Every structure is written in C-alpha cells, then in structure tokens.
Amino acid sequence: MKILVINCGSSSLKYQLLDMEGEKLLAKGLCERIGIDGHLTHKPQNGKPTFNEDVAMPTHTEAIAAVLDKLTSAQYGVVDSMSEIGAVGHRVVHGGEKFAASVRIDDAVLSAISECIPLAPLHNPANITGIEACKAVMGDVPQVAVFDTAFHQSMPGKAFMYAIPYEYYTDLKVRRYGFHGTSHRYVAKRAAEMLGKPLEELKLISCHMGNGSSICAIDGGRSVDTSMGFTPIAGLPMGTRCGDIDVSILEYLAANTGKDVKELTNILNKKSGVLGVSGISSDFRDLDNAAQEGNDRAALALEMFCYAVAKTVGGYVAAMNGVDGIIFTAGIGENSADTRAGICEYLGYLGISICSERNAKRGEDTFISTDDSRVRVMVIPTNEELVIARDTRDIVLGK
C-alpha cells in the first residue's frame, strides 16, 4: 500500500509518499506560500529530477492538486495514477482528551478536531484545511489523523494536572497535554528493538531536542510524564520559547513594559529561549560557534539548556523509580555531540558514561554509552512520517 503523509501548516504543506512494502520513501516535498502566491519543491527518490518552481496556490486545494500532479507526472512522478495511493495520513497537532490514538477521519472526527481548535488556534485549523483539501481532490480515499498529543493521554492525573482551581480543568480543559508524541513513540519502539527487550518491560526517557524540545518519561511503552504542557511553550528553554518560568513574571513585565499579555506571550514564544539569552541565534550551530569564539551569553544559553534537560531527566528517573535507556533525537539530539555530552556529564550519578568516539557518529541509530554504562544511552533519528504512515496503514487495513 502507498500512503501519502501530509503535515499541513497555515501557509505550507509538507508531504511524503511512502510505499509500505519495505517502508520505502518514494517522494517528498514542500508547498510554501499557500494563499500568497505558491511555490512547490518536489523531490522524487527514483532518480527523476527535483521540481522547484512557483505554482499558483490560492488555497490548500490547489497545493494538494499540484502535489498529486507531480507525483503522477511522467517527468517527476513516482506513481502512474492517483488510484495507487491507498490512503492519506495527516499530522494533527491537538486531539485534546478526545483522542488517545490515531483514528480514521469521518465527519464526527473532523468536528471533534474542530472542537480542539481553542487549544491549538494556530495549528488545528490548518490541519483541518489539509484534510478538507485532500477530500476535495482525492474523494473517498481513506484519511487518518495522527495526533501530536495522543501518546501522552496515558499520563496519570498527578502528572497532567496543574495545581489551580479544579474547575479550570473541568470547564476549560486546562491541563498538561504534551506534544511531539509521534516522535517519542517512534524512538521508544526503536530503542526497545536496539536493546533487544520488550517495550513493556522498559523505562525510557526520550529527549526530543529540535527547534522545539520536549522530554518524555516512557514506562512500559506508555507516556507517564512530559515536559511540554498546556501548550508547547512549557518545559525546557528552546530555540525561541522560554520554557518554564515563574508566571508572575508576566504581570510584572506588563506593569513595567507597557506591553499587554498577548504581546508578552508572543515574546515568550518567539524571542526567548536560547535566542533571548544569547541575543545571537536560536540555532545551536550558531551558538556553538559563538561560544567557541568566547561569547559568554551564547555559552550561558547552551549551559542553561543542558542543565534544564539534565534536571528534567533526573526528575523522570524519580518519577519512574529507575531508567533503562535514554534517547536523544531531533535536530540537536541527532547532531550535536557537544550538547549530548554536556547533558550526560550531569548524569554520572546514574552510572552513565559516554564513549566519545561513539558520540561523534551522526545520522544513524547508535549507542553512545560505553559498554559498562549502567544506563544505555542512544541516538535515534526520529521519523514522524513513518509512524503516521504505519498508523494509517494499520487503521485502513483494520489491524
């Protein structure tokens, strides 16, 4: 079965076409500037050339049509006709408390996703637009929603509740939801394979560290705690997000800067994190370079990040009363040996030791801990699209 995986943003749309026989990537690409003018980058994986040109995309429907046109074209295509595509899997950011697993999309599911819009006002509307555009262009081809939040629905109340009046939870759904669930689920499964043990018997801590970063405690294959919260701003300091801060800072800043809560929240989301502290960049590569050239604020931002990750990992070891494996993934987790080493330096008390030669490897599933390390430490490149495609196949085939 061939499956089209769609990750739809408000003005962009990322896609991959996978052949589930052998889980092979057939093509991938990106539509940008949808609703503005439109640009398509399409990369077939069969040796045909890349298409990289402006294409008019007044709405997401034209974007999907352009993608299908390229996927089936003689010059850039990877399939003969649209009928070869058996199903579409969509990344959907927020499933609230309604979805603890992926689900086939019908009208009831679509309206439940709409009901979650207040929880993810920027993301869910775009995801719905992508689903509707596929329906318009592809008709009755089965569509499946895979939620960023679903994996974390297994968290117990003690982990997902905030200590605020209970009716804010019951009436307004204020609680920890967590994000990056698809990634945490993927790397946990892969870690169990690498460790040669059933996932059900393992205590794992997954560190997804990219532009957005979150950590997840996974006990027996189930998320029991995670660092992002009601929104993705919570937890670690990130590229541009502040992570956990004292909430009273908001009122204090409002009183002393003349900015309102909306403006300040925007600053906490887009101008904070390692960018805010360093004043240089949100990209860890730039910070590494600046720190090496003696920039103290860049060095401080990097130290703060490693320290926050190490503290969270320590908390999750306590939450699970132990840990068998720690996983690093996403842009920073997969690529930055210095950040991994900086974090693991704090974890010696767990009997963790890192092999610098192994830690220098890149882009492949690998152990970076030494053979005598009491806890195994792994780097596992994440693959959210593959999880979406697998879930889509399983649901459509009724597995």
Catalytic (active-site) positions: 148
Residue 239 binds ligand ADP (CB under 6 A): yes
Burial of 248 (0-12, 13-18, 19+ CB in 10 A): exposed
Closer residue to ligand ADP in complex, CB, 79/291: 291
Q: Give, as ranges, the residues between 206 and 225 that touch ligand ADP (CB under 6 A).
A: 210-212
* Interface pattern 268-307 for ligand ADP (x via CB under 6 A): ---------------xxx----------------------
Supply the minimum distance, in Å, between the C-beta of residue 342 and ligand ADP.
12
Cβ atoms 339, 332 nearer than 8 A: yes
Kindly indicate which of the ranges 54-62, 111-119, 226-234, 326-334 contains the residues binding ligand ADP, using the contact rule CB under 6 A. 326-334
Supply the minimum distance, in Å, between the C-beta of residue 331 and ligand ADP.
2
Supply the minimum distance, in Å, between the C-beta of residue 130 and ligand ADP.
18
Supply the minimum distance, in Å, between the C-beta of residue 178 and ligand ADP.
15
Cβ atoms 282, 306 nearer than 8 A: no
Closer residue to ligand ADP in complex, CB, 76/284: 284
Closer residue to ligand ADP in complex, CB, 78/191: 191
d(CA 128, CA 143): 12
Position among 229, 276, 331, 381 found at the interface with ligand ADP (CB under 6 A): 331
Q: Give, as ranges, the residues between 155 and 214 that touch ligand ADP (CB under 6 A).
A: 210-212
Beta strand ranges found along 82-155 (DSSP E): 85-92, 103-104, 143-147
| Long-range Cβ contact pairs of 311-317 (< 8 A, separation 24 or more) | 312/215, 312/227, 312/235, 312/236, 313/205, 313/207, 313/215, 313/343, 313/346, 313/347, 314/346, 314/347, 315/225, 316/205, 316/215, 316/217, 316/225, 317/205, 317/350
Supply the minimum distance, in Å, between the C-beta of residue 154 and ligand ADP.
23
Closer residue to ligand ADP in complex, CB, 61/339: 339
Q: Which residue has the tokens 């499964």?
A: 189
Burial of 152 (0-12, 13-18, 19+ CB in 10 A): buried
CA distances to 178, 188, 205 from 236, rounded to whole Å, are 12, 20, 15
Position among 27, 330, 347, 386 found at the interface with ligand ADP (CB under 6 A): 330
Supply the minimum distance, in Å, between the C-beta of residue 237 and ligand ADP.
12
Position among 27, 78, 119, 332 found at the interface with ligand ADP (CB under 6 A): 332
SS3 percent helix, strand, coil of the chain, rounded to 5, is: 45, 20, 35
Question: What DSSP state is assigned to residue 83?
Answer: G
Supply the minimum distance, in Å, between the C-beta of residue 219 and ligand ADP.
25
Position among 7, 182, 336, 369 found at the interface with ligand ADP (CB under 6 A): 336
Closer residue to ligand ADP in complex, CB, 88/275: 275
* SS3 state at 214: strand
CA distances to 248, 264, 361 from 254, rounded to whole Å, are 10, 7, 46
Residue 235 binds ligand ADP (CB under 6 A): no
Tokens representing residue 77 in the block:
């295509």
Residue 366 binds ligand ADP (CB under 6 A): no
Note the residues at the interface with ligand ADP (CB under 6 A).
210-212, 239, 283-285, 330-332, 335-336
